């Protein structure tokens, strides 16, 4: 195991080794991302399976099998079909508020366990569904699991990891999301070939594998020292801190955690406290990152990859095969992020990816605009391959930037007193806009046609300027030292910190005058 020190702005050195318990705990916790990714990937695959459509969405089935179409872009334009995908995210949005309470009061570990139970029950409902109501109930239960897992796992990973590798370990969550998507695409590719009309059940039922992994992982991992100390278990917190840091010299870090916990306990209303001036920069950035992450267009592609490729004129097997390719690119590119995020920094990855995503989407829009008419049966082999290449170019840049960093940056910037509430808002906004995109994409594709990619590329341009001017670098900054070393050093956000400090100083001086000190 490697050794090293994390340096705080106060001058204290936090001794921290990269211990097996940290690695194992992070891997187990990150399986929450595996479940999330599988749910994202599997929905697009099953909604392109004729047997699934025939049973639950006969109107769409008739449209996709019709010889003459009103528009090639409108094959799957159906609100009910979109609701099947988007209901998960609407449920997750609601569940995250309850998850904020359990994360704070019951701990990160127990919240992950609750998520695992929701995932298991939801999987059973989906795999056994005989009607649309049962199918949607299953998706809602899975959404509750997503809300709890996405609330607890990023916070758990940020708190348990040593500072110098916090970014890489946190991205394990996003890596598992991409592995889950790839796993779902591979499963869909296989089950689509099963005759007898039950392949979709196997696709939905295999979600039980990551669901069980998360549940077992939550039973085996230890809770974070931050959470234990926050809930008053000081000795237990110190004991866990020794284990995960691999040293007995944890007093400086322990004292800082205790002090952060003391400040946090003074905050009676964490959600109200989020609106205070000193917390506004973190809140603005967290909300903006979640909105921008969804408006890159990534979920439109990952949710509906097989459907999208079918729409673009690919044959059934070819569309699923193309979805597998993009899933594999997604996984490999996320590994790049794990390696580079703590070396080159968050900002550099986001800015480079902005250029790559913008260009790839513009190229896709041009190809589709010139070569795919409303009623064409096929895009043409050469252009179809080029579209897949451009989609992979887009997916790869997202996977090493906005995908993992959209979760990492908010989880490491909120102070302890607002961390749970801040993560709740982060997850809530993410799921809200994920729901919006999931519910609207097929209709947008029908009406915008190839212009949908120009719509998303315009947003990529906007978010890149946001990163350039307003997002500070958080690489290698201890999580409890963000205020002093990040926000108070930024050209814009320091005004919020300085004003707040000046206000506090005025109050303190006023109190001393009233008490006769001057």
Q: How confident is the model at residue 84 (pLDDT cuts 50, 70, 90)?
A: confident
> Among the listed ranges 188-192, 270-274, 381-385, 508-512, which one has the minimum average pLDDT value?
508-512
222 phi, psi to nearest 5 deg? -90, 155
pLDDT more than 70, % of the chain: 87
Q: How confident is the model at residue 323 (pLDDT cuts 50, 70, 90)?
A: confident
Flag whether pLDDT at 6 surpasses 50: no
Cα distance between residue 333 and residue 327, in whole Å:
10
- 272 class by beta-carbon count within 10 Å (0-12 exposed, 13-18 middle, 19+ buried): exposed
Of 211 and 385, more confident: 211
- Looking at every residue in the chain, the average pLDDT score rounds to 83
- Residue/partner pairs of 390-393 with CB below 8 Å, 24 or more apart: 390/360, 390/361, 390/363, 390/364, 391/301, 391/322, 391/326, 391/360, 391/364, 392/325, 392/326, 392/329, 393/356, 393/360
User: Any bridge partners for residue 15, and if so which?
Assistant: 5
3-state DSSP assignment of residue 471: coil
CA distances from 281 to 364, 415, 416, 490 (A): 35, 12, 15, 10
Flag whether pLDDT at 191 surpasses 60: yes
Flag whether pLDDT at 264 surpasses 80: no
CA distances from 492 to 50, 247, 317, 413 (A): 54, 39, 52, 16
Q: What is the pLDDT of residues 440-463, one digit of tens each?
A: 888 888 888 889 989 999 999 999
Q: What is the pLDDT of residue 204?
A: 95
Q: What is the DSSP string of 20-51?
A: HHHHHHHHHHTHHHHHHHHHHHHHHHHTT-HH
Q: Are 61 and 50 contacting, i.e. CB atoms less than 8 angstroms apart?
A: yes
> Among the listed ranges 147-156, 185-194, 377-386, which one has the minimum average pLDDT value?
377-386
Residue reference for tokens 């916070």:
155
Name 517's Cβ contacts closer than 8 Å, sequence gap at least 6. none
User: Any bridge partners for residue 13, and if so which?
Assistant: 7
> Among the listed ranges 130-134, 289-293, 477-481, which one has the minimum average pLDDT value?
477-481
Q: What is the pLDDT of residue 168?
A: 78
Q: What is the pLDDT of residue 10?
A: 40
Q: Residue 15 belongs to what H/E stretch? A: strand 13-15
Question: What are the chain's domains?
Answer: 20-223+267-496 (1.20.1250.20)
Q: Are 203 and 320 contacting, i.e. CB atoms less than 8 angstroms apart?
A: no
Taking residues 152-157, report their average pLDDT: 84
User: Any bridge partners for residue 5, and if so which?
Assistant: 15
Flag whether pLDDT at 255 surpasses 80: yes
Encoding tokens for residue 507? 């109050």
Q: What is the pLDDT of residue 379?
A: 67
Name the most confidently modeled range: 83-87, 147-151, 353-357: 353-357
Sign of the four-CA dihedral 86, 91, 92, 93: positive
HSE toward the beta carbon, residue 148, CA cutoff 13 A: 27
Taking residues 257-280, report their average pLDDT: 83
Q: What is the pLDDT of residue 373?
A: 67
Model pTM score: 0.76
> Among the listed ranges 302-311, 395-404, 470-479, which one has the minimum average pLDDT value?
302-311
Cα distance between residue 513 and residue 518, in whole Å:
5
Q: What is the pLDDT of residue 505?
A: 44
Name the most confidently modeled range: 3-12, 18-27, 337-346: 337-346
Cα distance between residue 474 and residue 487, in whole Å:
10
> Among the listed ranges 6-10, 45-49, 59-63, 163-167, which one has the minimum average pLDDT value?
6-10
HSE toward the beta carbon, residue 175, CA cutoff 13 A: 20
13 phi, psi to nearest 5 deg? -100, 125
Pure H helices in 345-415: 346-371, 381-399, 402-413
Pure H helices in 66-165: 79-105, 108-127, 132-160
Residue reference for tokens 């609750």:
114
Q: What is the pLDDT of residue 60?
A: 87
Q: What is the pLDDT of residues 422-439, one digit of tens each?
A: 888 888 898 899 888 888
Q: What is the pLDDT of residue 503?
A: 44
């Amino acid at each position: 195991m490697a050794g090293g020190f994390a340096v705080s702005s106060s001058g204290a050195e936090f001794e921290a080794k990269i211990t097996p318990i940290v690695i194992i705990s992070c891997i187990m916790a990150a399986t929450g991302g595996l479940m999330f990714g599988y749910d994202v990937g599997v929905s697009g695959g099953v909604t392109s399976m004729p047997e699934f459509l025939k049973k639950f969405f006969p109107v769409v089935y008739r449209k996709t099998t019709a010889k003459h179409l009103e528009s090639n872009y409108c094959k799957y334009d159906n609100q009910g079909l979109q609701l099947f995908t988007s209901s998960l995210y609407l449920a997750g949005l609601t569940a995250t508020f309850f998850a904020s309470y359990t994360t704070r009061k019951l701990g990160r570990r127990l919240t992950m366990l609750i998520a695992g139970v929701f995932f298991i029950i939801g999987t059973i409902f989906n795999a056994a569904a005989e009607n649309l109501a049962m199918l949607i109930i299953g998706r809602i239960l899975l959404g509750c699991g997503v809300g709890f897992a996405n609330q607890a796992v990023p916070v758990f990973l940020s708190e348990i990891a040593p500072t110098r590798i916090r970014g890489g370990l946190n991205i394990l969550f996003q890596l598992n999301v991409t592995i889950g998507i790839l796993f779902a695409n591979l499963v869909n590719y296989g089950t689509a070939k099963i005759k007898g009309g039950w392949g979709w059940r196997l696709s939905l039922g295999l979600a039980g594998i990551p669901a069980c992994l998360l549940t077992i992982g939550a039973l085996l991992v230890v809770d974070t020292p931050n959470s234990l100390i926050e809930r008053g278990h000081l000795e237990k917190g110190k004991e866990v801190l020794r284990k995960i840091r691999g040293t007995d010299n944890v007093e400086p870090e322990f004292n800082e955690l205790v002090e952060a916990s003391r400040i946090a306990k003074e905050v009676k209303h964490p959600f109200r406290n989020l609106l205070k001036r000193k917390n506004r920069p973190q809140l603005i950035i967290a909300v903006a990152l979640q909105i921008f992450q969804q408006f890159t267009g990534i979920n439109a592609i990952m949710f509906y990859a097989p459907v999208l490729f079918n729409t673009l004129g690919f044959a059934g097997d070819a569309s699923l095969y193309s979805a597998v390719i993009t899933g594999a690119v997604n996984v490999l590119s996320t590994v790049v992020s794990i390696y580079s995020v703590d070396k080159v920094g968050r900002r550099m990855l986001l800015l480079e990816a902005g250029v790559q995503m913008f260009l790839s989407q513009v190229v896709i829009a041009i190809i589709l605009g010139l070569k795919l008419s409303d009623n064409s049966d096929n895009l043409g082999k050469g252009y179809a391959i080029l579209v897949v290449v451009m989609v992979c170019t887009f997916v790869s840049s997202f996977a090493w930037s906005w995908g993992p960093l959209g979760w990492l940056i908010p989880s490491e910037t909120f102070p302890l007193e607002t961390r749970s509430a801040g993560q709740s808002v982060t997850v809530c906004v993410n799921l809200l806009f994920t729901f919006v995109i999931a519910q609207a994409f097929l209709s947008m594709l029908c009406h915008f046609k190839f212009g949908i990619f120009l719509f998303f590329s315009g947003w990529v341009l906007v978010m890149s300027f946001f990163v350039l001017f307003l997002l500070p670098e958080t690489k290698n900054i201890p999580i409890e030292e963000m205020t002093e070393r990040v926000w108070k050093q930024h050209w814009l956000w320091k005004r919020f910190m300085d004003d707040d400090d000046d206000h506090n100083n005025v109050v303190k001086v006023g109190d001393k005058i009233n008490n006769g000190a001057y």
